[in-house]
A = this chain, B = another copy of it.
């Protein structure tokens, strides 16, 4: 089934109003959530809406948060999300970073007491219109085992970096620091297929190709998959994201990050408040004239995109190309939703009196 952007956006707005979100915050949250659906990160879009609502029902999301800066220097700030939706807290924090950058050249914001913030790339891309480079990191519920660890200690902890160009579309990298995202496992599971090697280990810490490996108590593996293929690098990257997002801000880190799913309780002895994010904004002209920079970005992008491809591949992609192309298609043709998602949203709407 395919739904229009407007249809899903309106439903999301309606639902967020029902749980008490102020109108402007609901609008921001719906923008962030839907951007995931448009860009093909289906696991982080409306499919997650009922999850947020369930957390609110459990009292673990504050629908009317007082999001605020609690500490700052000329180029840094710490934001307390007051237990709000990450979809609301993150855009606020990114704005603080952008304002800092206008004055100090760069702005860096670490956030505590937040919740899941949707897709990382959306927040990084907020910097582009200001001729700034945007950076967006977040920690997440522990599903990932560091190299040599049987235990899950990290989330899929994404890194997003958005870089403006001139006539070319911007460079937008948005990646989990694992070999594969959890969403891809779910797709393979549904199809009854195995995963490639290097994606998952089982509950005993052995590599497996079972797509239900994580569900069965195993773990996702850091980018690289195993030591021989550089998993210690993926582990280090995920750790850096965790530390910048949570140890700098005072959020929970590592295995203490509260689970997204409402049926799992947070650790009774937290080491911080909520989950953490980290944002950066760097004014391009804090380094060199913006026109010069953007002209060279065009040259960079063109050179890479026109490189000779390997046998069987059409062309070299620039980070952000596939998502941008999909966004244009889905804005025009609509957003496909899987049957279980349609069912879930229909039930959610019925329960709250919002027509899906």
For A308, the chain B residues whose CB sits under 8 A away are: 149-151, 205
Contact partner, A247, options B73, B201, B283, B293, Cβ 8 Å: B293
Tell whether A76 is near chain B: CB-to-CB under 8 Å.
yes
> How distant is the Cα of A44 from the Cα of B73 in the complex, in angstroms?
37
- Chain B residues whose CB sits within 8 angstroms of the CB of A201 once the complex forms: 310
From B148, B196, B296, B307, contact of A229 by CB (8 A) = B196
Q: CA–CA, A106 to B76, complex, Å?
A: 7
Chain B residue contacts of A297, Cβ below 8 A: 243, 247
**Segment of A30-38, A50-58, A230-238 engaged in the interface with chain B:** A230-238
Determine if A261 is an interface residue (Cβ-Cβ < 8 Å): no
Interface size class of A (residues with CB under 8 A): 35 or more
* A288 pairs with B249, CB closer than 8 A: yes
Q: Are A271 and B299 in contact (CB under 8 A)?
A: yes
CB-based contact A223/B230 at 8 Å: yes
Report Cα–Cα, A272/B293, bound state, in Å. 11
| Cβ–Cβ contact B106 & A254, under 8 A | no
Instruction: Output the least CB separation between A182 and chain B (Å).
Output: 14
Question: From residue A144, how far is it (CB to closest CB) to chain B in Å?
Answer: 12
**Chain B residues with Cβ under 8 A from A328's Cβ?**
none
With A149-B310, A271-B296 already in contact, the answer to whether A74 and B105 are too (CB < 8 A) is yes
Inter-chain contact A307/B171, CB cutoff 8 Å? no
Tell me if A229 and B317 are in contact (CB < 8 A). no
Q: Are B232 and A149 in contact (CB under 8 A)?
A: no
Contacts of A307 in B (CB 8 A): 146, 149-151, 153
Residues of B within 8 A of A254 (CB): 300, 303-304
Interface residue? A240 (CB, 8 A): yes
CB distance from A354 to the nearest CB of B (A): 38
Question: Contact: A310 with B108, CB < 8 Å?
Answer: no
Cβ-defined partner of A108 (8 Å) among B73, B105, B224? B105
